[in-house]
Chain A
Amino acid sequence: MSEIYLEMKNITKAFYGVKALDNVNFSVKKNEIHALVGENGAGKSTLMNILSGVYPYGTYSGDIILNGEKCMFQDIKDSERHGIAIIHQELALVPYLSIAENVFLGNEQASRGIIDWNETKLKTDEILRKVGLREDPDTPVIDISVGKQQLVEIAKALAKEAKLIIFDEPTAALNEEESNNLLNLLLALQESGVTSILISHKLNEVEKVADSITILRDGKTIETLEKDVDKITEDRIIKGMVGRDIVDRYPKRHIDIGDIVFEVKDWTVFHPLQDDRKVIKNVSFNLRRGEILGFAGLMGAGRTELAMSLFGESYGSNISGHIYKEGKEIHLNDTAEAIDNGIAYLTEDRRNYGLIFISDIKTNITLAKLDRVAANNIIDHNEESVVAEEYRQKMNIKSSSVNQGVASLSGGNQQKVVLSRWIFAEPDILILDEPTRGIDVGAKYEIYTIMNDLVSEGKSIILISSELPELLGMCDRIYVLNEGEIIEEVDGLQATQEYIMGCIMEHSKEEKR
């Protein structure tokens, strides 16, 4: 049991000069369940993507030693050949193919290119029994529940004779009973000789099954705890996950908070496709003039969904509730009305929802409020260039001119372009969704400064962030969201990361019961 099966040594990986992993060491013993925990963006997924060959050898530095042998994976197929399988949070199944077809997808039981269906079904049956899924192998995957689909994914890994299976948040979409079944399956797989790496936010689950726990933070290994050796408590794990010092990464500002300018009452939103699933449950909150308000929560807590549903109902269906601006109730049926009412929303996904990639800086900046550079619907190109140039200098967008395409800018500069668009739209209320995601420290500081300037002009900001230190460093007040509800409201100066994380963990546990 103590023999080391996998060792990842001094792994360093950078994206556009930003280090996502910095000298990470990670070792897994044979036949154990090893949990990997950390905040969003701590580098868990990056580390696992390196292990499974998504980032091929040569794009990172450091060594992977599997079973005493140094590995240089070129792609996912390569790592699969070495017995490594990864089960992603978003399942990679083909919905209209049967269970059997999915289990052997890319690994067909065939001779000379002709599939042997009898063999396929026979083997599928055998594997399904192993994972405890009682379903006909001919059933299309779309007809079975998400929990069962997860089992099909595991069956797929077993069909490839995986010796090491990585589970990325496997219980995120499961209910209590399904989660328990899955955890038991993990233990059963351990019995049969499979080694597992479990990535999870749910610390109670981690405590229940893991033999050891490695904590990552900011792309660095903090510590590895062993069951039986160390005293494992949730407090200790949380401290390890968040315990970093806040140095002067956040610019100071003069705080001058006025009256309530924006208020939301009883806001309820249903999922756009599954109309019986509540995504936002009866949320009420308020925002004051000159205030930076934070929304904290884990991935999937409903922060983005809340923001987008408020921004002209651009997310969700069957939305109910009331929005008040400066005391008057307003109705925002589409994004144009939201913008006209002085509300702006900066997306967390600037690539797919933010920028027009084939266009240049100036068209991207003026897009949300073209009438400001137009008369009678006719755009004044000269005026547009002048205005865009103003923002280019004010926001320090590093580029050759406003005619440069945004595709060639760095992440931080792209973000400044989108931010310029929304400042150009002259909103009173700016909702910033992960405004500093994937950009370097310097650009982050610049964006924080811009935020401070905006609130000192009397605008109000809602900041959605997965980085707790950022929320604590920037916000006057923080709402904590979990599972579509506001579960706590804390003062930005008094709150601690431990307290917020604790609230979320506590609430998640209650929900499950």
Chain B
Amino acid sequence: MKEDRISIRKNIRKYGMLIALIAIMILFGILTEGILFKPMNISNLIQQNAYVLILAIGMLLVIITGNIDLSVGSVVAFVGAISAIFMIQWNMPVWISIILSLLIGALVGAFQGFFIAYVNIPPFIVTLAGMLIFRGLTMVILKGQTLGPFDRAFQNIASGFISRGEIGGLNVISMVVGILLSVIYIILNFKDRKKKIEYKFQVPPMSIEILKTVLVILAINWLTYSLAAYKGLPIVLIILAILIVIYSFITNRTIAGRHIYALGGNEKAAKLSGIKTEKVLFWVYVNMGVLAALAGLVVAGRLNAATPKAGTGFELDAIAACYIGGASASGGIGTVTGAIVGGLVMGVLNNGMSILGIGVDWQQAIKGLVLLAAVTFDVYTKSKSRTQ
């Protein structure tokens, strides 16, 4: 009995925010009389929030190391501006511009990472300085003006769809992707289960495994069906999905990922265990720079313009997404999927409240309360589980 209760509590901690996300979606689904779940809105929801989710992935790694990056909003604007110069003023090809922009993001990250990891300046200060530096440079580059419009190919990154072939009003590719993903999920999941049994590890009962699989497959196919019913797969969703898979893998399965967690859990112990903590920290910031640059391109593409004000406050959205998703401010704890769920909670709140016609003023206040509630819940359950 007692073990059951502990395992339930553990699962509530693990899936708490996911359950909250579903509850929030259902709540707004009812309040908006179903508009939230309309195919067009689902598509919008993804495209509106893609930048936060991309930033949240990079920010999560930073937060796991126990640090922070306040500069990402400014880096978003900075890279957007540079890409506009490349493509609009210098007429460079789109793909070269994209690669150069990502490289510049890496350089920005390396610049900040150098001061943080090797000169030992507190990240709060370095990235606060970065926030001012890159916002200022953005205005210098753009001379205070807005640059646009972009090439159609570039806009597609943020607002394009893969939409060929239609049967009965449904996009075929989207449906096929949904089915393919379901099959891959089933194969991987049961392969893992088989392996665990081979190793004689405990596995959840088959009934729960099947229930879980059915739920996941339903969710995947409901999403792809919704997208198929509108314009097809958003390109940015594909980028995002690839990022989620890669970064989940890095954090869960690689030595590099383990080193990031160890650094955040206890820097001194990590160092004495042969982990090159400075190097790890440096590369985490380089990575954040690249992802901020990618988010910058997505934002520029979606607005179809580079503006000096782009990205204002994005760093706070990304940080909030990580904390809502269960990351710990003192480091060492957090997951990529958690950060994505956290970002979606905020995205759904935004979207739902906008549909209901609630003003930006109240939206801000409510999001603040949600952040506070989520972290309080997390701290509370953690202190509970520690007394066990």
Closest Cβ–Cβ distance, residue B388 to chain A (whole Å): 8
Contact partner of B333 (CB less than 8 A), chosen from A314, A339, A358, A371, is: A358
Give Cα A311 to B274, complex, Å.
10
The number of chain A residues with a CB under 8 A from chain B is: 37
Q: Is B240 an interface residue (CB 8 A)?
A: no
Cβ–Cβ contact B273 & A358, under 8 A? no
A335/B255 contact (C-beta < 8 A), A356-B265, A358-B333 known: no
Q: How many A-B residue pairs have CB under 8 A?
A: 87
Q: Is A318 an interface residue (CB 8 A)?
A: no
Cβ–Cβ contact A379 & B258, under 8 A? yes
Q: Is A363 an interface residue (CB 8 A)?
A: yes
Give Cα A314 to B269, complex, Å.
11
**Contact pattern, B 18-34, Cβ under 8 Å of A = 1, otherwise 0:** 00000000000000000
Q: Tell me if A's interface is mostly helix, strand, loop or mixed.
A: helix
Q: Tell me if B's interface is mostly helix, strand, loop or mixed.
A: helix
Of residues 254 through 275 on chain B, the ones whose CB sits less than 8 Å from some CB of chain A are 254-256, 258, 261-262, 265-266, 268-275
Give Cα A334 to B388, complex, Å.
38
**Contact pattern, B 134-156, Cβ under 8 Å of A = 1, otherwise 0:** 00000000000000000000000
Q: Is A244 an interface residue (CB 8 A)?
A: no
Q: Is A370 an interface residue (CB 8 A)?
A: yes
Closest Cβ–Cβ distance, residue A351 to chain B (whole Å): 9
Cβ–Cβ contact A353 & B201, under 8 A? no
Contact partner of A358 (CB less than 8 A), chosen from B254, B255, B256, B265, is: B265
Q: Which of B195, B256, B269 has the most CB of A within 10 A?
A: B269
A356/B272 contact (C-beta < 8 A), A379-B253, A385-B199, A407-B386 known: no
**Contact pattern, A 126-153, Cβ under 8 Å of B = 1, otherwise 0:** 0000000000000000000000000000
Give Cα A377 to B257, complex, Å.
10
Q: Is B164 an interface residue (CB 8 A)?
A: no
- List residues of chain B with CB within 8 A of the CB of A425: 274
**Contact pattern, B 272-284, Cβ under 8 Å of A = 1, otherwise 0:** 1111100000000
Cβ–Cβ contact A368 & B273, under 8 A? yes
Q: Is A354 an interface residue (CB 8 A)?
A: yes
Taking CB as reference atom, which chain A residue is nearest B328? A358
Give Cα A378 to B328, complex, Å.
25
Cβ–Cβ contact A334 & B276, under 8 A? yes
Which of the four size classes fits the interface of chain B?
20 to 34
Cβ–Cβ contact B266 & A355, under 8 A? yes
Q: Is A421 an interface residue (CB 8 A)?
A: yes
Give Cα A359 to B264, complex, Å.
11
Contact partner of A336 (CB less than 8 A), chosen from B262, B266, B275, B386, is: B275
Cβ–Cβ contact B273 & A385, under 8 A? no
Give Cα A370 to B276, complex, Å.
13
Cβ–Cβ contact B332 & A358, under 8 A? yes
Contact partner of B262 (CB less than 8 A), chosen from A312, A356, A408, is: A356
Contact partner of B272 (CB less than 8 A), chosen from A335, A359, A407, is: A335
Taking CB as reference atom, which chain B residue is nearest A364? B269
Contact partner of A368 (CB less than 8 A), chosen from B261, B265, B274, B386, is: B274
Closest Cβ–Cβ distance, residue B190 to chain A (whole Å): 15
Closest Cβ–Cβ distance, residue A146 to chain B (whole Å): 26
Cβ–Cβ contact B273 & A335, under 8 A? yes
Q: Is A59 an interface residue (CB 8 A)?
A: no
Cβ–Cβ contact A367 & B268, under 8 A? no
Q: Which of A334, A352, A355 has the most CB of B within 10 A?
A: A334
Taking beta carbons and an 8 Å cutoff, which residues of B are in contact with A?
195-196, 199, 201, 253-256, 258, 261-262, 265-266, 268-276, 328, 332-333, 386, 388
